[in-house]
Amino acid sequence: MSLFASAADAAYGLVRPVVHATDGEAAHNLTLAALQPLPRARRALTSPVLATELAGLHFPNPVGLAPGFDKDARVAHAMPHFGFGFVEVGTLTPLPQDGNPRPRLFRLVEDRAVVNRMGFNNGGQAKAADRIACLRRYGLPVPLGINIGANKDSADRIADYAKGTAAMAPLADYLTVNISSPNTPGLRALQDRGALEALLDGVAAAQPAGAAKPVFLKVAPDLEPADIDDIVAVAIDKRLAAIIVSNTTITRPPLASRHADEAGGLSGAPLHDLALQRLRDFRRASGGAVPLIGVGGIANSDQAWARIRAGASLIQIYSAMVFEGPGLAARIAHGLEARAARDGFARVSDAVGADA
């Protein structure tokens, strides 16, 4: 594990009680402020066993940072220090927006979970573009994804995604079209087949001429079987590069925390089983024709390995770091290497879909 990751884990172990006693959003902002001055990462955690290819991109390892952690691309430069093989920033909207009223982020410590109703709070694509352009000038040793969304009060949300594509595609290694947040009213309706087709046509038309970037689609876990079949059919027809399964859930399994009834999307440990099942559902529906990225409730190498064997080419983490510390990505990556050797795979990528 890198010195950054090891030192950060040790430090986090000391301050965790204070962090968990602090308002969740305030603690997150303090974390970003602490990470921002770190030097730019020049190398990534990788090995021949861990490296993988997807959508024409080289991923040093399959463990990525999910969006939401670095909404405004303030700390992407530093995240490879902690073992991440790729970084996804956002969600970014065309115009800045404050998001929903506070409080809007809740730790469910007893459940190792988080509930958020942030509402795409971000400083807008223009400000983030300046930061990302600077980062691009100096280089990043891992792929950078940019997650785009629509403004809450937009009269034409499909047009917002087209604007986001035009603005951010030149700076991204891949774009993620996020239509899965439960915190922007009506957004998930874009998962319906007709709306999704129109949306992806708008995104394709807005791609830079001769330099289109891979498009990933992020979906919700709260889908019916017919929804999954429709999304897969559209993804194949529109030649999407990957489907990210999944975002937070609006369902509520039994929870122990006093924040269990807060409105918003639930992430962390209670999401694990649902997200894994949805990944299996998408693998079954697609027959492996569309690459999948597994997200939701992944907190250790065994869970990451299960997600890969179920069909995920890559995985992403975020909420688990609140409880497991900032070195989690590096620990998972090393654990995947060990599990590949244990199960007789020369590369982690060889195990994708082994259990499907």
- Which residues participate in catalysis according to the annotation? 181
Q: Cα separation of 228 and 173, whole Å? A: 26
Question: Residues 292, 241, 320, 79: is their CA dihedral positive or negative?
Answer: positive
DSSP string, 168-220: HGGG-SEEEEE---TTSTTGGGGGSHHHHHHHHHHHHHHSPTT-PPPEEEEE-
- Give burial (CB, 10 Å; 0-12/13-18/19+) of 95: middle
Q: Cα separation of 348 and 303, whole Å? A: 14
Residue with tokens 């969304």: 149
The SS3 call for residue 88 is strand
CB 71, CB 90: distance < 8 Å: yes
Q: Which of 193, 94, 189 is nearest to 146 (CA)?
A: 94
What is the biggest distance separating any 2 CA atoms in the chain, rounded to whole angstroms?
53
For residue 28, the number of C-alpha atoms closer than 13 Å in the C-beta half-sphere is 20
The token pair that represents 280 in the structure block:
């299996």
For the CA atoms of 336, 214, 219, 309, what is the dihedral angle to 10 degrees? -30
- Whats the size of the chain, residue-wise? 356
Q: Cα separation of 351 and 313, whole Å? A: 9
CB 125, CB 161: distance < 8 Å: no
What angle separates helix 193-206 from helix 225-237, to the nearest 10 degrees? 30
